[in-house]
Structure 1
Amino acid sequence: MKRYTQFEDLVITDFEVDKWPHPRHNHNHFEIVYIAKGCGRHYLNDIDFCYKKGDLFLLGPDDEHEFKVKQTTRFIYFKFTKLYFNAHTDLPLPGDWNKDIDYLISHPERKTGSLLQFKEDKLMVHQLMEMVVQEYQNTRLLNKKIIFQIFSIVMLILKRNSHACSAKAMDRPASRGVAQDLIEYIELHIYDPAKLTLKAMSAHFNYSDNYIGMLFKEKVGTSLREYVNNFRQQLIRQRLSHGTVAMKQIASEFGFVDESHLYKFIKKNNLR
């Protein structure tokens, strides 16, 4: 498995190909991949699905992927590390961006297709990505801040699309599976411990504590508490592996009392 390493906090590329030039790979950074033209198939981890003009994908460092081009495709890549957030101290807190990225990375829609669902938003994002390319290629005054502002708007549009998909998912028939709904609920509220107690989840889904706990373990193979703890550990381990996020910030994001409490959690669960 090839792994690409990027040292810059931001790299933007715009290219058009008839054949995908890279082997199946992962990388040490995050990628927003926008399809400005063309179609084909996207192989993401153990799933493959069609891509077409207007689709957008968000990839994390642990994702393995490649494309198979069917029709000449123009790709716009927005490749960034967590350091990119820290470079803009006059804008929203890096911790807020970390939460948004984690939420989108864990969103079910991302795993099977494009994060853009609405026609109007696809048109808007197309215009924004064209603006990003122009600003990146022309080193004009304030271009870095303008690019970050455009990035912020794209992220807001992705959140709007993902929240709409989550709302539709909650309206689906019960046959879809309470366990899957619970997993999506946990991913959405992983930074809010008060909403992840058995009592809170039972009230949200209108089931008894015993029933919801037994059902989840039967379908998923682990208890709700174990699943929540394992998911938190996974996210914290990912933060630590990047080495760019302060312990105080991690403690605040995940609801720990202080850094000492976080250190004990890390030691207890062998996260380093």
Structure 2
Amino acid sequence: MKFFYENKDLSVVAHYGVCLAFDAHLHGHIELVYMIEGRSKAYVDSMEYIIEAGDILIVFPNKIHQYQRIGNENFFLSIFPQDLCPEFQNIFKYKVPVSPLIKNAARNNRLLPLMKSIAKINKEKTQFHDAIIRGYFLILLSEIFQMIQFEDARASDTDTVKSILNYCAKNYTREDMQLESISRELHISKYYVSRIFSQKLHMSFNEYIGMLRISDACKFLVNKDMSITEIAYSVGFNSTRSFNRSFLKFTGMAPRQYRQLQSFGNFE
């Protein structure tokens, strides 16, 4: 969800979840998904991947990626800055995985216990937290990188896509958010913008704005004491009916059900 990706400091996101449905985005951090149960669909730089139980998806910095639900799933998600493990800087800067998907990563039985420890320590925020977290990530990445084939990174022109996504991120709560708004503000043909969404993000502009709003709503449902009506209006919907319909479309469940399920999304 987009609120994870605006953080530029050395903080770490590490938690379990039960609904892997995130909007298309890119950022300068490393993103790691370990599928514990179920399966989900992911897109990384326009390539489609199916993440099944026991698989790992690792997304390197500045790669456009998104997740779509297929069914029920339990997963571990972590997002962390490159600077957390400077020992791997040359890999992050100059290399990329031939495939971001590691099939049957569960064959390494050390990975899941490491992730459980990271999630637990990150939640507790104990003394020497940063040093301990860094140590665990060094071990985790060392294990994962042995399972990956790397190739040299190629330069890619993502400036236009970044501009479009940044504009959407800043304006998606506006009720009058339209394709013409992006075209006018960024001086880009609306037909070109539409093609960017269909070819790069595999969805229409309206679907993307809807997913941004639902992503924010998911955050509020879990982390804030707000009513469903308050959440609906705060993320850009003009009625609870349209909010509930859109939420069901993107997550497969009602907002109230999502709030209840996330309270049980802990597999430690």
TM-score (normalizing by structure 1): 0.49
Greater Rg by CA: 1
Relative CO higher for 1 or 2, CA cutoff 8 Å, sep ≥ 6?
A: 2
- Decide which structure has greater helix share: 1
TM-score (norm 2): 0.50
